[in-house]
């Protein structure tokens, strides 16, 4: 289990939930637009990201958790681009924080 305070995870999730990427289609091509999330969207995004980070903190497999979070988000908010809104933020957080924690675990 990673020794990261849940407060840190929740703050990150809240920050990421401020915006949402909406996928639209124009002439058969996808067109993504980032905008400020509504209250309902913020709560949904925050809950999914926070839950995913809690699972990773408890030694959940990062790839499996991230994929599952993206899938759940797509079910909850079908118009959302789950890759940009959910998947990338979780992966970036892991890259920035897990790597640092592992380095500190092996440092003497």
Q: Could you tell me which residues come within 8 angstroms of residue 2 by beta carbon, excluding any fewer than 6 positions away?
A: 56, 57, 59, 98, 101
Secondary structure (3-state) at 29: strand
For residue range 16-42, list pLDDT tens digits in order.
999 999 999 889 998 999 999 999 999
Domain residue limits, the chain? 6-106
Q: Mean pLDDT, to the nearest integer, of 50-79? A: 96
Q: What is the mean pLDDT of the chain?
A: 91
For residue range 92-103, list pLDDT tens digits in order.
999 988 865 554
């Amino acid at each position: 289990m990673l020794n990261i305070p849940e407060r840190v995870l929740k703050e990150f999730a809240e920050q990421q939930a401020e915006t949402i990427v909406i996928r639209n289609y124009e002439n058969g091509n996808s067109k993504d637009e980032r905008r400020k999330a509504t209250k309902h969207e913020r709560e949904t995004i925050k809950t999914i990201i926070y839950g995913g980070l809690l699972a990773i903190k408890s030694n959940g497999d990062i790839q499996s958790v991230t994929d599952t979070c993206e899938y759940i988000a797509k079910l909850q908010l079908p118009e959302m681009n789950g890759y940009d809104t959910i998947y990338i933020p979780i992966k970036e957080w892991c890259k920035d924080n897990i790597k640092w924690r592992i380095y500190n675990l092996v440092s003497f």
